[in-house]
Structure 1
Amino acid sequence: MAWSLLVGYVFLSSLLVICRSTTCPCERPELCQQIREERDFEVFVFDVGGKTWKSYNWSMVTTVATFGKYDAELMCYAHSKGARVVQKGDVRLASIVDQDNRTAWITDKVSLAKSQFMDGINIDIEQAVEEGSPEYHALTALVKETTEAFHREIPGSQVSFDVAWSPKCIDKRCYDYVAIAESCDLLFVMSYDEQSQILGDCIAMANAPVLQTLNAYDLYLDLNIDPKKLVMGVPWYGYDYPCVNLSQEGICSIAKVPFRGAPCSDAAGKQKTYKWIMKQVNSSLSGRLWDDKQQAPYFNYKDQKGQIHQVWYDDPHSICLKAATVKSKGLMGIGMWNGNILDYSDEPVAREQTSRMWNALLGC
């Protein structure tokens, strides 16, 4: 985006913020005050919209990152429970190599947070970056300058940054992880989509194998990143893979869908919510199966056209194995993508499944 276009956009956005009513939308005006209380342990929830947040386990939630449409009711309710609400921050990196563009973007985000009585920002930049490139340095500067601006303008605010499950240039995201961690308050480690680059056999595998997931935290810690800067992200969804072939040993060969240099990827499958998975497993060919090596559940089913599918996912058992490590490694907390995709209906079985998923975040 050209400098003039970005500055023009930010100017118009700022005008809208100024023109917006700054009247507190909450029944109790004090609920519009930003949350400043520091927590010893984070339970970080991504919310993508709708009203399912009303069924969250609010005794656990400390931060909600809003990736859907702004919901003043959610902000008021979260504040009533002492939980922060932070906005999403994303931008095309090529556009913020320029310092003026970067400053304009930050100014806009701070103004938006103030106008919506929010408590910070979650920076979600999942773009490929070459080490040492202008974008590499611009991203590092963006996080530092955003954190400084938010802390200055909204005392007690929280700035978090989303990182891949490993710091080893996953999906060509070669960021300056050490400098970014030093600048912001939290790194949310997206410990999922770990098959985005399949370099071995093109087969269906766990979304987040336990050993691979946990070893990657050692890689972050080996960089001397403070464990209290790391929040473990776990998936509340899985992947549904159509099998090109299902061997007698139960191995599901998948279509070759290349991604960022790898011949195969999880793009051969489709993401499915835990709500869908729990209903599908009951009518599957195999029922719930468990892979001891990857320490993850899966099952096989046949679709209406007769094709065999293999579904890999996480459940309370696999999540508990990861959550136990959060405390043993001294990490700051845990969270999920995303809070909306459990079954929050009143059915007894659904209530039990949903309760177990929330409770698994604290270990078993």
Structure 2
Amino acid sequence: LASGVLDGGRGEGGQGMEGWRRLLPPHTRMLPETSAAASCPCEDTSLCGTPTTSPPIEYYGFGDPSGGDSWKLFDWSKVTTVAWANGGGLMCRAHAEGARVVAAAPDIPLTGNVTMRGEWVKGLVQTMLAWHYDGVVFDYEAPLDAFTPHSDTLEMFRYYALLIQETKGALHAAIPGSQVSVCVAWSPDGIDGRSYDFKMLADASDIVYVMGYDVQSQVLSSRCIAAANSPLPALQRGIERYIALGIPPSKLVMGTPWYGYSYPCVRGGVEPGDICEIPLVPFEGVNCSDAAGMEISFAVAMNLFETGDCYGVFEPPCSVTSGMVWDAASSTPFFNYMSGGKAYQMWLDDPKSSALKVSIVEA
């Protein structure tokens, strides 16, 4: 596997590569109006061309969709693709570094109407050309069964795969070097009701971005407890399962998070080694899920741990009641804290846990 990625979370007060994946679902993330595009905004107009060479290792990150300038802090010696293109400044800098910027696929039409799909693809290509962007990322996450014959969900999935395939063909023809990526769950095994034909999606796209986080979206164990957002064994197993489907490792990008979850403890979570039992909050037919928690960016979590500062996110007063505890089973750190007189447990990813994940793809 020759791909790696860092993806941020939409945690409150987050900074840097923030992944607002849940806050801004793909069908509501609109591209800028084509009419608003100007001529090449770069001082060096040659930078408005899409890079045509492929990196030996893909480092694919999600930028700030609000149009901020956090991209100025990126390590451009590593980054090869930035998703959620949001302006000329980012595009010019990325192209100067040989990296690509790709936009989110807006308001995707899941329809058998070939003309409607064609018009959508045409409009997308025009926008990419006008803004000098390098491609698009599809992130459809609704439950669909792609394997029941003659079902409506099978037809919807086919339309999704066809739209990706048609977009790739049109973009490659109009913009040599352009890229079409598709986001998928951390495992191909029906996560959150997404029983997709992942091999079909891989064939239709250039890159399969495996979202190696939110693994606790459906907790199937006998106890409903706080746990790692991105446990190493689960990520490794998920990548292996995608490869077993016949998807080339060179197409796979493993997404890792720069955010974690804060869970309220209905029992435990006070002493350093405590198990934190969390409220039952159902998701997609399962009674226990990470919806019981709140996504928190790495920056905010570490600020709380190091200073006890509520940061305008947590209910005061705040105090940390444990050191940073390493969970060997998931290769993930966590700590306990009090907020508003209640016990919480914070699970996050840090440089150590992230490096272990990246080692999977660099092995």
- 1:223 paired residue number: 245
Kept in 2, the 8 Å contact 1:124–1:162? The answer is yes
Q: Which residue of 2 aligns with 1:33?
A: 49
1:97–1:241 CA distance, 2 compared to 1 (3 A): farther
Structure 1 equivalent of residue 329 of structure 2? 293
Kindly report structure 1 stretches of 4+ aligned residues shifted beyond 6 Å. Answer: none
User: 131, 142, 145: which is aligned to 1:116?
Assistant: 131
Q: 2:80 aligns with which of 59, 62, 70?
A: 62
| Structure 2: 5+ residue stretches without partners | 1-30, 148-153, 309-319
Instruction: Determine if the alignment matches structure 1 residue 99 to structure 2 residue 117.
Output: no
The one of 266, 271, 280 equivalent to 1:244 is: 266
1:335 aligned residue: none
Shift in Å at residue 98 of structure 1?
Answer: 2.6
Where relative contact order (Cα < 8 A, 6+ residues apart) is larger, the structure is: 2
Contact in 2 for aligned 1:91/1:125 (Cα 8 Å): no
Q: How far did 1:121 drift? A: 0.9
Rounded to whole Å, the distance in 2 between the matches of 1:21 and 1:146 is: 21
TM-score scaled to structure 2, two decimals?
0.82
Pick the structure with more helix per residue: 1
Paired residues of 1:90 and 1:124 also in contact (CA < 8 A): no
In structure 2, do the counterparts of structure 1 residues 82 and 206 end up closer, same or farther at CA, with 3 Å as the change threshold? Answer: same
Q: How does 1:62-101 map to 2 (within 5 A)?
A: 62-66=80-84, 70-92=86-108, 95-101=110-116
1:275 aligned to which of 294, 299, 302: 299
Q: Percent identity?
A: 40
Aligned residues: 310
2:36 and 2:215 map into 1 onto residues whose CA distance is 42
Q: Return 183-192 or 132-141, whichever deviates more.
A: 132-141
In structure 2, the partner of 1:308 is: 343
Unaligned stretches of 5+ residues in structure 1: 1-12, 329-364
Counterpart position of 2:20: none
Are the equivalent residues in 1 in contact too, given 2:37–2:131 (CA < 8 A)? no
Aligned-residue CA RMSD in angstroms?
A: 1.7
Q: Which is worse superposed, 239-248 or 316-325? A: 239-248
CA gap 1:308/1:97 in 2 versus in 1, 3 angstroms: farther
- 2:173 is equivalent to residue 152 of structure 1: yes
Deviation at 1:287, TM superposition (A): 1.9
Deviations 1:85-139 (A, max 9, x none): 111114355x434322222221121111110001111111112212242111111
Structure 2: distance between partners of 1:125 and 1:153? 24
Mapped pair 1:129 → 2:172? no
SS of the residue corresponding to residue 121 of structure 2 reads helix
Sort the Cα spacing of 1:79 and 1:118 in 2 relative to 1 into closer, same or farther, 3 A.
Answer: same
